[in-house]
Amino acid sequence: MGSASDEPVVKETLEVLEQMQVDYEVRVMSAHRTPERVQEYATTARDRGIEVLISAAGGSAALGGVLASWCTLPVIGIPLASSELNGWDSLLATSQMPPGIPVACMAVGAWGARNAAFFAAEILGLRHEHIREAYENYRKQLRER
């Protein structure tokens, strides 16, 4: 996440990741305030066994794009409402990545935070049966409600 103040929304992501049995790590880093930290994180992520990155950022929401610029792992962006524009700025910034450096863009805020985790589970479920099964069970429960 771009700032520690983003934690309440990111908590929504973490709860779903736990439900889907996805291991995760959380870092606070800013594309603008700590760019070296972002570069280090992205360039070493694959070596640490990370397969998907989720970024949450408001304002210019540059974090997802900067992560994507430093690695070829899938990056899922959660735009956050952190300015007077109520997340429109973040949504547009996250969704308008240049061709070849994609960031999957979720909805602004809590819904996007949850869907980022579900989308990560879909991606990871391609290789990890227990995650695929957890997500399929969740979808089955949705249908039964």
Lookup result for tokens 């089955």:
140
Lookup result for tokens 């995650």:
131
| Mean pLDDT across 27-39 | 96
Hey, what are 33's tokens? 């305030």
Lookup result for tokens 């870092």:
27
| Mean pLDDT across 17-34 | 97
pLDDT at 100: 96
Phi first, then psi, for residue 55 (nearest 5°) are: -120, 145
**pTM attached to this predicted model:** 0.96
Confidence grade of residue 106 (pLDDT, cut at 50, 70, 90): very high
Confidence grade of residue 88 (pLDDT, cut at 50, 70, 90): very high
pLDDT at 69: 97
